[in-house]
A and B are shown apart, each in its own frame.
Chain A
Amino acid sequence: NAGVTQTPKFQVLKTGQSMTLQCAQDMNHEYMSWYRQDPGMGLRLIHYSVGAGITDQGEVPNGYNVSRSTTEDFPLRLLSAAPSQTSVYFCASSLRSGRWESSYEQYFGPGTRLTVT
């Protein structure tokens, strides 16, 4: 298994440009999510999905869109990039089954480092 893959690894955008960060997993996980990591802030949840066709907002959703048309893929779209979106973005996935759902490990991708100038 490749696990969770993310592309690209690095990206530089100009203010106002749009782009899509790709995320894919091959573990048949139902849950997928996007986080951003900023210095001194830890990781903050942007959007998440509990299955194909179902998405919801996390803690910091403004400026981002997501869709989940398949179990495997969960792309994150930046509609009009702003310097405040300069960050490292992580995609994660986990199982959704069983009584103790909250105990399941989340698997993280290697991250995309985005700079908006």
Chain B
Amino acid sequence: GNSVTQMEGPVTLSEEAFLTINCTYTATGYPSLFWYVQYPGEGLQLLLKATKADDKGSNKGFEATYRKETTSFHLEKGSVQVSDSAVYFCALSSGSNYKLTFGKGTLLTVNP
């Protein structure tokens, strides 16, 4: 079956630091890969996605590249802000999109 493993948190950084959150996956077929973000007290919202190998998703300064050879989709940002403090979820879907498989989430706290 499908599974997603992401770096356990919490992660605490200072403002303007470089961020990497690792994500690896196991899936049948050719999955689409997603990063969702959950700000405190809110639902999840899509941050970025990639649908095929070597695609790079990007949004709000965040990037992730779909690496089929290493089954990875690591999230990066060059300079984090306090407003980036949130929980980040790596997820995949394969075949029918209603079956999203999520990682356990990584709590990021950015201090001024």
Interface residues of A, Cβ cutoff 8 Å to B: 4, 31-33, 40-45, 48, 50, 58, 90, 92, 94, 96, 100-106, 108-111
Contacts and interface: CB of A to CB of B under 8 A. Distances in A.
Interface of B: 4, 31-32, 34, 36, 42-46, 49, 51, 89, 93-100, 102-105
A31 B89 contact: no
B96 A90 contact: no
B89 A108 contact: no
B95 A102 contact: yes
**Minimum-distance CB pairs A-B, first 9:** A108-B43, A42-B102, A103-B51, A42-B104, A102-B93, A31-B98, A108-B44, A43-B102, A103-B32
Nearest to A3: B43
Given A31-B97, A48-B98, A48-B99, A102 B105 contact: no
A102 B96 contact: yes
A77 to B, nearest CB: 19
27 contacts: A4-B43, A31-B97, A31-B98, A33-B98, A41-B104, A42-B102, A43-B102, A48-B98, A48-B99, A50-B98, A90-B43, A90-B44, A94-B97, A94-B98, A96-B97, A96-B98, A100-B32, A100-B51, A101-B95, A101-B97, A102-B32, A102-B51, A103-B51, A103-B97, A105-B46, A106-B97, A109-B43
Q: Of B45, B98, B103, B104, which is in contact with the most chain A CB atoms at under 10 Å from its CB?
A: B98
Contacts of B100: 33, 43, 45, 92, 106
A58 B101 CA distance: 11
Given A108-B43, A109-B43, A102 B94 contact: yes
A42 B105 CA distance: 6
B5 to A, nearest CB: 11
Contacts of B104: 40-42
Given A33-B98, A50-B98, A102-B94, A43 B43 contact: no
Q: Of A33, A96, A102, which is in contact with the most chain B CB atoms at under 10 Å from its CB?
A: A102
A105 B42 CA distance: 17
